[in-house]
Amino acid sequence: MIWAGAIAGVAAAAWAVRGRSSQVFAPSVWHGDRSGRQVALTFDDGPSERTPELLELLERFGAKATFFVCGQNAERLPGVLEAVARAGHEIGNHTWSHPWMDFTSKAAMRDEIGRTQKIVETLTGKAPRLFRAPYGVRWIGLGEVQREYGLMGVMWTSIGLDWKLPADKIAGRLLRGTRSGDILCLHDGRTLAANPDITPTVAATGEVLQTLRARDFTFCAVSAMLER
């Protein structure tokens, strides 16, 4: 009984930190409105040198997406971030340096999030309204920091694991059982790496766009989905 209780406690703690539907440490969403035929494509870890390829794909399909950017990458590639904004896509906050935030102080979280809010607003004229925690890890104090900056947390319905899988497997994960309101997670960067190889991500994104368009889905930013 003692071991069972300990295991249950560990499982509950793990869900509180990383569970997609957890609200323990900060308010967040993992899907949007289930009516209609809309899904939200999201991209983490950018901007990167390869982000423009995704912008071209999205334009070809008339799709809007949400890019959760790292402040250090935005500082390194301001022109790419500005291109994302000019194309009408939503920009969210993915911290400054993409840290694991478990066992992180509130002051450190405030610095990571606040610096990224500032650089995105400086470069685009608009501060993010959405926040995605690196690795999906939330921690004590995050909810207060989100409220300070007026941010809603965003998890995901499906994640492509595109940093390690080939394109067909990535697309398969995202297309399996897709429903209206799903938030799909991909990556246009690889944490803070320069010139990352996101070839599988680009190929999988094209397949997802084509397949879901054939199923009469449309693509919108997360905020637009939540406003429904």
Residue 130 has pLDDT above 70, yes or no: yes
Q: Residue 215 has what DSSP assignment? A: T
Of 44, 162, 182, 188, which residue is the catalytic one?
Answer: 44
| Mean pLDDT of the region 115-142 | 97
Of 89, 94, 98, 187, which residue is the catalytic one?
Answer: 187
Q: What is the pLDDT of residues 211-227, one digit of tens each?
A: 999 999 999 999 999 98
- The first and second tokens of residue 198, run together, are 């996101």
pLDDT recorded at residue 104: 94
Strand extents, DSSP E, 38-146 = 38-46, 65-69, 90-93, 130-131
Active site residue 31: no
- The first and second tokens of residue 140, run together, are 């004590």
Q: What is the pLDDT of residues 28-70, one digit of tens each?
A: 999 999 998 999 999 999 999 999 999 999 999 999 999 999 9
Residue 172 has pLDDT above 70, yes or no: yes
Please tell me the total count of domains within the chain: 1
Angle between helices 167-175 and 199-214 (to 10 degrees): 40
| Mean pLDDT of the region 101-128 | 97
Domain that holds residue 138: 2-227
* 116 residue type, one letter: T
Active site residue 187: yes
CATH number, domain of 117, equals: 3.20.20.370
CA distance 187 to 169: 15
Whether the CB-CB separation of 145 and 110 falls below 8 Å is answered with yes
pLDDT recorded at residue 5: 53
Whether the CB-CB separation of 50 and 198 falls below 8 Å is answered with yes
| Mean pLDDT of the region 142-158 | 98
Average pLDDT, the chain: 95
pLDDT recorded at residue 13: 86
Say if residue 47 is preceded by a cis peptide, omega within 30 of 0.
Answer: yes
pLDDT recorded at residue 11: 73
Whether the CB-CB separation of 177 and 115 falls below 8 Å is answered with no
Query: What is the separation, in whole angstroms, between the first and last Cα of the chain?
Result: 46
CA distance 41 to 222: 8
Residue 96 has pLDDT above 80, yes or no: yes
Q: What is the pTM of this model?
A: 0.95
